[in-house]
Every structure is written in C-alpha cells, then in structure tokens.
Amino acid sequence: MAKQSQVIARERVLEAAERLFAGRGYAAVTLRDIGQAVGIKHASLYYHFPRGKEELYVEVTARRMQRYREGLERAIASARNGWYERLEAAANWMLAQPTMYLGRMMQSDMPAISDEAAEQLRKIVYSSLLQPLVAIFQNALQDNPEKLARSATYAGMFLSLIEGIDNLPASYVQGSKQELVKIMLDMLSNGIVGK
C-alpha cells in the first residue's frame, strides 16, 4: 500500500486499537487483530509504536479515559443544579456509553501489563471516573462534615452500582436501565428498607 501521512496512519492505528482493546480487553486482542482492522501487517505497527503491544494499550486507554472524563463532566454540567439531577445525568450518560468493563480492566488487563504501566493507568482510570462524581457528593454534603469526608467513598459506591447495572444478567434486572437508575437514586436518597 502507498505511504500515508504519518499522523493519519498513526491515528488510524490508535482508533482501531482503542475499539478492540475496549471491547475485548488486553489479552484477547492480538497485534494481528489490530493490523487487520487497519489494513496493514502487524509488523508495521512497530513503526508507530516501537515498544509494542503494551505501549499501544497504555496510550489508547489513557486517551479513552480522558475523553470519557470530558464527556462525563459535560453531562453533569448540563444537568440542573441539584445533586439528584446531576447524579441522574451522570448515570444515564455512563450507561449510554459502551460498557466500560472496569472489572476486567482492573482485574485482568492491569495484571497483564508491567507494574509501572498498570499503576499509571489505574490512577488515570480512577481519577477520570471518580473525580467528577466526588465533586457532586462534596457539593451535596456540604452541611454534613461527617458525610462530606466520605465523598470519595460514596462516589466509589455510585460507580460500583453503575458497573453493576451494566454487568448483571438481564434475568436479574427487570426493567430498563433508566428505571434502574431511578431505583438506584431512590436508594441513595432514602435508603431501601428504612431502619
């Protein structure tokens, strides 16, 4: 194939790799898969990413998380100014995205790459996902110092619940995702059982 612009070729590789890694995870995607998706041989990938698969994975994952964070912050900012509305906007936006596979990322992909790369990515992933949510809780809990200090914990719980909605089998979660978000937010507001 004819020589292409350096930037364009590299960008096409990044896009294909991002789509594949995000969908199947680190180990299940081979360099040959990525090459095939772009239309080049896998050996040619080393021209753009001399250090190979891991370098490619780190770069696309970092990129993906940063874009995710931007989208999440935008979705939150565009909601009305109450904590309920902001959490609802965050949840609905996240559930409208392709599944994040956070569990696989943390429990399967990270252990498969070098410790340094994993540590770097873990920070990016959690700051991208959690910080926008932490801000909502901090704002909502201003009047309650004890709970305010637990904003990060609440944000983590919220994130876990979102992930759970994406993962639980359909047979266990009757109703649409939007309805589940309402149930979830109702729980965060008033509790389930009442003590």
Partner DNA sequence: GTCTATATGTTGATAGAC
Partner DNA sequence: GTCTATCAACATATAGAC
Q: Contact positions toward a copy of itself, by CB under 8 A?
A: 24-25, 27-28, 83-84, 101-104, 106-108, 111-112, 122, 126, 130, 137, 140-141, 147, 150, 152-157, 159-161, 163-165, 167-169, 172-175, 180, 183-184, 187-195
Alpha carbon dihedral 87, 90, 96, 102, in 10-degree steps, equals -100
As measured in angstroms, the least distance from the Cβ of 39 to a copy of itself is: 26
In sequence order, what are the residues at sequence separation of 6 or more whose Cβ sits closer than 8 angstroms to the Cβ of residue 19? Answer: 37
Interacting partner of 101 out of a copy of itself, DNA, none (Cβ under 5 to 8 A depending on kind): a copy of itself
The closest alpha carbon to 84, from 145, 158, 192, 163, belongs to 158
31 makes contact, choosing from a copy of itself, DNA, none, with CB < 5 to 8 Å by partner type, with DNA
Spatial separation of the C-alpha atoms in residues 22 and 102, rounded to whole Å? 10
Considering CB distances under 5 to 8 angstroms, the limit depending on partner class, which of a copy of itself, DNA, none binds residue 39? DNA
Give which of DNA, a copy of itself, none residue 16 binds (C-beta under 5 to 8 Å, depending on kind): none
Q: What is the largest CA-CA distance in the chain?
A: 70
Give me the phi and psi of 97, to 5 degrees please.
-75, 165
Q: Which does 52 bind (CB under 5 to 8 A by kind): DNA, a copy of itself, none?
A: DNA
The 54-83 contact track toward DNA, x by CB under 7 A, reads: x-----------------------------
- Site residues (CB under 7 A) for DNA, limited to 3-42: 3-7, 9, 29-33, 35, 39-42
Q: In angstroms, rounded to a whole number, what is the distance separating the alpha carbons of residues 70 and 78?
A: 12
C-beta contacts of 106-109 below 8 A and 24+ residues apart: 108/25, 108/26, 108/27, 109/25, 109/26, 109/27, 109/57
Contact footprint for DNA (CB under 7 A):
1, 3-7, 9, 29-33, 35, 39-44, 46-48, 50-54
